Every structure is written in structure tokens, then in C-alpha cells.
Amino acid sequence: MQQANVENSTDVSIIQIVYQNWRKPIFGLLILFAFIITVLFFNKNYFLDPTTSITVNVHGNKGKVDNPLKEEGMVYVKLFESDYQDSAKINAFGEAVFPNFPSQYLNRGANLSLNAKTYQVKNIDSVYKISKKNYLEIKTKNLDRVWGRVFNKDTGDFLEGVEVILGDSINITKEDGKFNFNIPENRNPELILFAKKTGFVDDRGSFIFSTKIFPSLLGSDGQRIDLLNKNINKK
């Protein structure tokens, strides 16, 4: 029993010594050193490299290789935990590159937004955990109409009397070659435009011109259709 008491007394003495001396310089330095190591470990990206490059891949609903915006539009990053915000142009690969993103904010929450003529972010209110490679899904903005003109490719003049078809709607062009369709909100996402006129063919020699309508084609000039007079081409 005496030996056990001696061992317990020894243990207590060691604890007391540590407790009594932790405030002395050597113990203070050890604690400070441990604190610095901890800070460096959890913020190693910031101390080793205060900035890093991050990429935002801007893609459509067909996957990460579906990049409808190339060299068109801007992507914006705004962090929730700081005042940091930045913008970058979308490059030829459909990506926006931010070369000077603060490393300390990697894996933190941010908002990603887009400025493009015919596209918008699919999930506007989403919070993105920023990494070196990020993905931003986009969708087309609501289009309320499709319009354009039909030309006689042989002469460059407007072409009258062309039957232009979009879904269940039909337009017959007049002297100015114009056609115009209003599109309902619940439209089929893949629109196909047809045009035909007796005696005319398209560039491929087909009697019915057809093309998919993409929002990026519907600028201020509308959709242009060129038809060839097949009788002239035979001569």
C-alpha cells in the first residue's frame, strides 16, 4: 500500500510541476509554437501562396462539355465572407479564369452570376463552394418571338411568297421577305424552322429549308434564310 501511495504521490507531483511551470518562458514558447503550427496548417494556402487561379466552366444542360458561350459573356464571383468580388470574360473554351483569387477563401461559399445576351444561370440562388475548378450551369433566357427575312440568294433581294413554318404556325412572306412568330412559354426547347417556295431550294439542294433555332442566332437582325432559284442554277 505504501508503494502505491508513493507512485500516486509521484504522479501528482509531476502534474503539479507542469501546472506550476506552464507560465514560465519555455512553456509559453512551446504553446506559442504549437499555435503558430496550427494556424499555418489551416491557412497554408494563404501563407504559401496568397493568391491562386480558379476556373469556372460555363456549360449547358447536356453536360460539362456543352459550352454554348465561347468568347461571349462575363462571369462574376462574389464571396459571402468578405467584400471580395471579381469578374472575368468567358474564353474560347467556354471558361472564365480568375488568376488572382485569394487562396484563403478556397472551399468557402460564394455566388456565381452571369452576364450574357441570351443566357442566364440555371440556379440563380445557389451557393457554390469555390475550388480551383468550378462548374456553372446555364440556360437560355425566355424568348418570346422568332423573326427574320427570306432572301433570294441569286439576286440578294427579299423573297415574297415563301411559306415559313415553326411548330404549328405558318407565315407567308410579303414583299419585304419578313416572317414573325410569337412563342408560347411552354414551347418545345428545340425549335426547328422550315421554309419552302415552289421553284426554290436551299444551299444543300433541298426543296425544304430547315434549321434549329438557337438563341444566339436571334440578335437584332433576326434569322436570315437564303433560297436559290433552282431553274437558274440548272442553266
The residue ranges of DSSP E strands in 28-90, in sequence order, are: 51-59, 74-79, 85-89
One digit per residue, the tens of pLDDT, for the chain of length 235 reads 444 444 444 455 655 655 565 555 665 666 677 777 776 666 555 555 688 999 999 998 888 998 989 898 999 999 998 889 999 999 999 999 999 999 989 999 999 999 987 788 988 888 999 999 999 999 877 666 778 889 998 899 999 999 998 878 889 999 999 988 877 555 555 678 889 999 998 877 778 777 776 554 444 456 788 888 887 555 4
Using only C-alpha atoms, the chain has a radius of gyration, in whole angstroms, of: 33
Helix (H), strand (E) at residue 99: strand 95-102
Structural domains of the chain in order of their starting residue, each with its CATH number: 49-140 (2.60.40.10), 145-234 (2.60.40.1120)
Measured on CA atoms in the order 103, 106, 112, 114, is the torsion positive or negative?
positive
Contact 150, 225 (CB under 8 A): yes
Query: Coil, strand, or helix at residue 188?
Result: coil
